[in-house]
Chains A and B, each alone.
Chain A
Amino acid sequence: MKIKQISIFLENRKGRLYDVCSLLGQKDINIRALNVAETESFGILRIVVNKPDIAAKVLKDAGVVANVTDVIAVEVEDRPGGLADILKALADEDVNIEYMYGFVEKASDKALMVLRFDDADKAVKALQKHKIKIVTEQGVREL
């Protein structure tokens, strides 16, 4: 139920984000979801891609510091309060979210969100209990 996210260390330097995206583009890797967390001196780029294993290898070979982490992608009703419902369910089950961000594409009429939990297994159980649809690796590939 979990999908792979690739996180990449970026120095706060002109052109670094471009370098990484262009490298992935050359290797025919498509970015499905993207988020940049920034601090005063560095940034962390987090991406969900169609071919995570190849992407991780390409980055490593290029000397980029990149890690693979498990995240969960969920479908969110595209209406006011859609996300709030999911967050309420997680709060009720006492599941803590580290961070979250949205997908570029939508699955039919549903929005897609990536969520990173400190305890992913507990989160999966909580989401299933509340009948929230989790997107699989396969689902991400077919977007």
Chain B
Amino acid sequence: MIWNEEFECMAPAELKRVQSERLKKLAAYVYTNCKVYKDKFDSLGVTPDDIRSIDDIKKLPFTTKIDMRDNYPYGLFSANQKDVKEIHVSSGTTGNPTLVGYTRDDLKLWSEVMARSLACAGAEPGDTIQNAYGYGLFTGGLGVHYGGIEMGLRVIPMSSGQTQRQLKIMQDFKPKILTCTPSYALYMAEEAKELGIDPKKGNWKIGVFGAEPWTEKMRGEIEAAWNMLATDVYGLSEIIGPGVAQECPHKNGLHTYSDVFYPEIINADSGEPVAEGEDGELVITTLTKQAIPLIRYRTRDVVSICYGKCKCGRTSPRISKIKGRTDDMIVVRGINVFPSQIEHVLLGIDGTEPYYQIIVDRQQHQLDEVEVLVEVNSKMFSDEVKKLEELRRKIKKEISAVLSISAKITLVEPKTIERSVGKAKRVIDKRQM
């Protein structure tokens, strides 16, 4: 079903009129209520009056994760904190997380776009959904939860982990929809088989998988293991969380909701738009958000876009699966990891130097493992095993706390980390996807 036919199937000219109206209002709103944006506009010599249509969006400044970090925690908010009803955080590039907030209307918007997404995947009111995205500060769990309730699903708020319990619940309540990271779906299927449970047995119809990159090969494996249609959902907490774009059963790109999240695809170096179908960085403007609306937010995700109408009837543009990143962020178990976070931790520990390498690996149908190699220097070194082990544990504890994932720490000899043209290669991704 199409959850909001009016907007999802709107004629392009009418959609453009809506987007233009919303952008005008947004420009005035952030200019008046957010000093960071006022300064950004002023330095480019743009005023809200210069924005007459959605095409004028090119006149507006970009927003980056650096802006979020530099203005942590509340600098990018346009709403008063007393009107903020919920906050979430995701990974930051250094010590501080990235904070986002929602007014009551923002939460309604989140429910709406997530309801659109679940319906787009093929959910019908009355279906039962096992939501195995993590609940808590991570936006995945609650975003899907709100959308499920909005569209009239029976939601099992499972959260991530506790695999045996997940399997018991799904055997007992026979959900039709599974939501989690694609690697966790494969892991659960593997665990089920080990326990003598056939994951295909059940009432499965669709899976809504996201929060990490995955391939068509993984899709095939998930569909075969669970006997369900596996669809891709895209989102990021800076924009709203999950519910920014979603595949329909035609699996021909992810439908955006451009009446509320306006997408542009740009050349990451020049900032200029690229042609339809060409790869570029996805940039999103939240046209109607209140608490922390973002103008031309650089997602750093590389996609291509297609403006043609889909066989499902939706007119809103479709983006491809994520093809890469324009920064060095990696996604591990659905969590965004920036190498700079690890550097920040090492610089904060006495004696350590920021010479490190991150190795990410995933055995077939298992969960991601992170190992951080840290070069030992004579300041950190001790002739006593217990002192070195103490240091290793301290590094492990701090890195695991900052990344929210348990990392294995291995101390290595200096210069063992390959330096290419003076610059160390920070991430080695060995994952087979």
Mark A residues whose CB is within 8 Å of B: 5, 7, 9-11, 16, 37, 39, 41-42, 44, 46, 60, 63-67, 69, 98-99, 116
A66 contact from B378, B385, B411, Cβ within 8 A: B378
A67, B411: Cβ atoms closer than 8 Å: no
**Bound: A109/B369 CA distance, A:** 55
A-B contact count (CB 8 A): 54
**Bound: A98/B382 CA distance, A:** 12
**Which of chain A's residues have a CB closer than 8 A to the CB of B411?**
9, 11, 41-42
Cβ of A24 to closest chain B Cβ, rounded Å: 16
Please judge, given known A-B contacts A65-B413, A69-B383, whether A39 and B389 are in contact too, CB under 8 Å: yes
B416, A46: Cβ atoms closer than 8 Å: no
**Which of chain B's residues have a CB closer than 8 A to the CB of A11?**
411-413, 416
**Bound: A67/B384 CA distance, A:** 11
**Which of chain B's residues have a CB closer than 8 A to the CB of A66?**
378, 381
Mark B residues whose CB is within 8 Å of A: 376-378, 381-385, 388-389, 392, 410-416
Chain B interface mostly: loop
**Bound: A10/B411 CA distance, A:** 9
B378 contact from A5, A67, A98, Cβ within 8 A: A67
A65, B385: Cβ atoms closer than 8 Å: no
Q: Looking across the interface, which residue of chain A has its beta carbon closest to that of B380?
A: A65
Please judge, given known A-B contacts A11-B413, A65-B414, whether A44 and B377 are in contact too, CB under 8 Å: no
**Which of chain A's residues have a CB closer than 8 A to the CB of B384?**
44, 98-99, 116
**13 CB-based A-B contacts, threshold 8 Å:** A5-B383, A7-B382, A9-B411, A9-B413, A41-B410, A41-B411, A42-B411, A46-B383, A65-B377, A65-B378, A66-B378, A98-B384, A116-B383
Please judge, given known A-B contacts A39-B389, A41-B411, A44-B388, whether A65 and B381 are in contact too, CB under 8 Å: yes
**Which of chain B's residues have a CB closer than 8 A to the CB of A69?**
383
Cβ of A3 to closest chain B Cβ, rounded Å: 14
**Which of chain A's residues have a CB closer than 8 A to the CB of B385?**
37, 39, 44
**Which of chain B's residues have a CB closer than 8 A to the CB of A46?**
383
